Chain A
């Protein structure tokens, strides 16, 4: 029996420690992990909880992230509650196994502390690793601060383990800015947190010797397509369960989460779409612009990056005139992913608002309130002109000659 941990009503935790406590409270059977900056403290602290008797479970140190996720796949297929954490290069090394986990419908929880991908090598936060996971078939939830990293971990187990979902879930937080910044966090008591997460319900577990099963079968052109379509439908249908779990969480804690978070959007004429800690920067910037210049700015963020909230993005933004999507990942010869996906959602609306794209904050480059305001004002100029007055893709906070791509054909 695990020892009870006496948590205070308000704790000063950074994002990593908050995530580690959520994992402890979920009473996981197996954590297989390999350390990498900036996610290391999650599994380091979890290991300490195990060593001090606060967890009835196995903690397996493996030789790589590929092995970490492989260990998680094995333990989940065996029939246990499973979780781990990683970042950046470690996430990249896990990638092959991420697809295995989702294809086998194993509800693993992976904390991804977002960090840039090499080369050049960089330990700071951007969203390259989060974007790398976007076609992997996982549910991806994004936390903007330590409290949310804690809350979303508890929700992640409930969502992924739901019998009609049974998919793995990533909980993202920004490297250092969230993971290493101590903030006030209101945790649940151990018993309340566990009551919310609930007992793990095994499904088609390999340790049921009366009914041996094969995981990881091969299928060729005669079966593969049907299996992938079924998996995609499960991911699309998880939207209803995510809403349900968020609603239940709000009932327990008063803290409300939505698949798409929007701030001051009701009367907004222009809006910023962003992910991670940048959302909080943009909210401050929007408030200031509203006060200082009367520009009606709103902020929208997909809390749930996958399944992509096509429906909710459209609802949030269809009445706005000009929108800028901020992508914190080098787009590698395309427009940013958020720009592409938000644009696609808005293309099927009557109004088809103007949408532009900024690439920003790569490798942990700071994104200031002043810069957010400048970008918002630029959107106001697009809205007033009725067309995009700048290049469609631009770079924010970049040294050197101005860099941008493509001009509008709607003028």
Chain B
């Protein structure tokens, strides 16, 4: 599943679909290259600009692990970046401090982003994996009044 700011390589294959080679061809010590070619200054590049290697998890999708998914509502979000900070799988895509959406190739549906979202109503809510995104947004709850 391709998503926000995706490159050709992000989630381009199922985890475990790589070519299986024999013991004589595996890398010594399971030391895995993160990027193809020279990666000097890679820290200054955005994920979608980086040439991730075949064995980087970035190029594999694990979307099938998820049974519920977070849905993002741009109309309510205040771009506080809380979800970006807390996401344990770097699956909140944000550029120039503006929240863009969710990397559904790597999101495991843990719901942490929903928990930490401070808006009322929340800008992220969990829905069933099969739920259509437009239908999910159509059912968004109203603002709750504060109880005294």
> Do A214 and B38 touch (CB < 8 A)?
no
- Per the bound structure, the CA–CA distance linking A210 and B34 in Å amounts to 11
> Do B20 and A212 touch (CB < 8 A)?
no
Residues of A within 8 A of B31 (CB): 104-105, 204, 213-215
> Do A233 and B39 touch (CB < 8 A)?
no
Q: Please report the number of residue pairs spanning A and B whose Cβ atoms sit closer than 8 angstroms.
A: 66
Q: Is B139 an interface residue (CB 8 A)?
A: no
Residues of B within 8 A of A220 (CB): 16
Interface of A (DSSP majority class):
loop
Interface size class of A (residues with CB under 8 A): 20 to 34
Q: Is A219 an interface residue (CB 8 A)?
A: yes
- Per the bound structure, the CA–CA distance linking A106 and B16 in Å amounts to 26
176-235 of chain A: CB within 8 A of chain B: 204, 209-217, 219-220, 222-223, 225-227, 229-231, 233-234
- Mask for B32-62, Cβ within 8 A of A = 1, else 0? 1111001110100000000000010000000
- Per the bound structure, the CA–CA distance linking A219 and B18 in Å amounts to 12
Q: Which of A105, A211, A212, A225 contacts B29 (CB 8 A)?
A: A105
Residues of B within 8 A of A276 (CB): none
> Do A217 and B32 touch (CB < 8 A)?
yes
> Do A210 and B40 touch (CB < 8 A)?
yes
Using A166-B28, A209-B40, A210-B38 as known contacts, say yes or no to A233 and B33 having CB atoms under 8 A apart.
no
Q: Is A103 an interface residue (CB 8 A)?
A: yes
What's the nearest-Cβ distance from chain A to residue B58, in Å?
12
22 cross-chain CB contacts under 8 A: A103-B30, A104-B29, A104-B30, A166-B28, A204-B28, A210-B38, A212-B34, A213-B31, A213-B34, A214-B31, A214-B32, A215-B29, A215-B30, A215-B31, A216-B30, A217-B30, A217-B55, A220-B16, A223-B20, A229-B23, A230-B23, A234-B28
